[in-house]
Every structure is written in structure tokens, then in C-alpha cells.
């Protein structure tokens, strides 16, 4: 799947009114790291994570369609380590020809890094079934967002809901990525 240059995508951020302006003209901290970053196509899908930051793609991006069971099956089949296969199977569960998305950073990050190391710019997933009868919002994961995006503006400044703990990339996750055999 190609995500065209000029496409707007969004990310939930911890930006507050007092520091929101620093985003314009510079890369937020999460774009300066070396790991893939998660985005959405709709600002409403990221507001549960905090302030919606709007970005624009600066080139066409080649993304893997993680909503296609055949593609996910092939990724699982071609994974070299049991741990990587396990992460793929946990994050994108295939049952009866349908994919169920279960998001946990300890699995998600390995899926994203694997796709990046295969040479793609990231992945796209449509709205997928999640736990129970719920759904998981569409998502876009980019390997090199610092190179592929520009901040357009900060929208809907808000703090993340206090009832939703934010689990992000920490030193333990970084160490797990360093240990994983991707290829």
C-alpha cells in the first residue's frame, strides 16, 4: 500500500497549552528516536492518548497492509525466531480468515521493527476487531517519521485521561529490541 505524499496523519501527545507551540518547526521528542512511531488517520482516534498533533507526509510511503490475513500469515511464516513469530501472532491474531488486533507494546514494537528491517517504510492497519466485540482504531506505523513527516499544527490540546495509563517505549523495551533476532 502506498501512503501518498501530502497525506495528513495524527499522533496523540502529552503536549499541553504551555508547550504546544514548540512542536511547530521542530520534531517532537518521539520523532527523534530510533524506533518506529505509531500514528492514526483520524484525530479522534489519537485523542484518547492526549493532544492530537497533525503531521503531513513529505514523500510517498510504502506500507505493509496488516489488515490482509495472507500478508500477516506470510510475515509469521518468514519470521526467523520463535519470539518474533510469537509477537506477530499475539499482536495480529488470525482466526477464521479474520485478523483480531491486540495491542501490547511488548509485541507491537517487534512487529514494527521487523517490518522496518524488511525495507518497508512502515505498516498500515484498517479498523480491526479487538478483544471481545470491540474494535481497534486504524493505525499507521512509520519507521523513520523524522525523515518522512512535517508537523502541521497541534490540535485539540488536552491531557490524556487519568484512567488510561500510558505504556510507552522504555529501556526494557529498547533492550528487548536489541536482543531480538529479526532477520
pLDDT one-digit tens code per residue, 68-99: 999 999 999 999 999 999 999 999 999 999 99
pLDDT at position 17? 41
pTM of the model: 0.84
| Whole-number Cα distances in Å, 79 to 6, 68, 169, 177 | 33, 17, 22, 15
Lowest mean pLDDT among 48-52, 96-100, 126-130: 48-52
Q: Kindly tell me if the per-residue pLDDT of 129 is higher than 70.
A: yes
pLDDT (mean) for 25-44: 76
3-state helix, strand, coil in the chain (%, to 5): 35, 30, 40
- For residue 8, the tally of other CB atoms under 10 A from its CB is 13
117 within 8 A of 88, measured Cβ to Cβ: no
Nearest one of 120, 106, 73 to 180, comparing CA atoms: 106
- Give the DSSP per-residue string, 69-126: HHHHHHHHHH--SHHHHHHHHHHEEEETTEEEE---HHHHHHHHHHHHHTT-SEEEE-
Residue 146, SS3 per DSSP: helix
Q: Kindly tell me if the per-residue pLDDT of 60 is higher than 90.
A: yes
pLDDT at position 15? 54
Average pLDDT, whole number, for the chain? Answer: 84
The three grid cell numbers given for residue 33, joined into one nine-digit string: 528516536
Q: Kindly tell me if the per-residue pLDDT of 26 is higher than 70.
A: no
- For residue 166, the tally of other CB atoms under 10 A from its CB is 10
Amino acid at each position: 500500500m502506498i501512503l501518498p505524499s501530502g497525506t495528513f496523519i495524527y499522533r496523540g501527545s502529552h503536549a499541553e497549552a504551555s508547550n504546544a507551540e514548540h512542536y511547530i518547526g521542530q520534531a517532537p521528542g518521539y520523532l527523534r528516536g530510533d524506533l518506529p512511531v505509531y500514528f492514526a488517520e483520524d484525530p479522534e482516534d489519537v485523542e484518547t492518548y492526549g493532544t492530537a498533533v497533525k503531521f503531513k507526509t513529505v514523500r510517498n510511503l510504502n506500507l505493509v497492509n496488516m489488515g490482509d490475513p495472507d500478508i500477516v500469515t506470510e510475515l509469521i511464516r518468514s519470521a526467523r525466531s520463535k519470539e518474533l513469530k510469537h509477537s506477530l501472532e499475539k499482536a495480529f491474531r488470525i482466526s477464521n480468515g479474520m485478523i483480531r488486533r491486540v495491542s501490547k507494546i511488548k509485541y507491537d514494537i517487534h512487529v514494527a521493527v521487523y517490518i522496518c528491517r524488511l525495507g518497508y517504510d512502515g505498516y498500515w492497519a484498517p479498523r480491526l476487531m479487538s478483544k471481545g466485540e470491540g474494535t481497534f482504531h486504524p493505525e499507521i506505523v512509520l519507521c523513520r517519521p523524522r525523515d518522512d513527516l512535517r508537523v502541521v499544527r497541534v490540535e485539540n490540546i488536552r491531557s490524556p485521561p487519568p484512567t488510561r495509563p500510558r505504556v510507552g517505549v522504555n529501556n526494557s523495551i529498547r533492550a528487548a529490541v536489541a536482543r531480538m533476532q529479526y532477520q
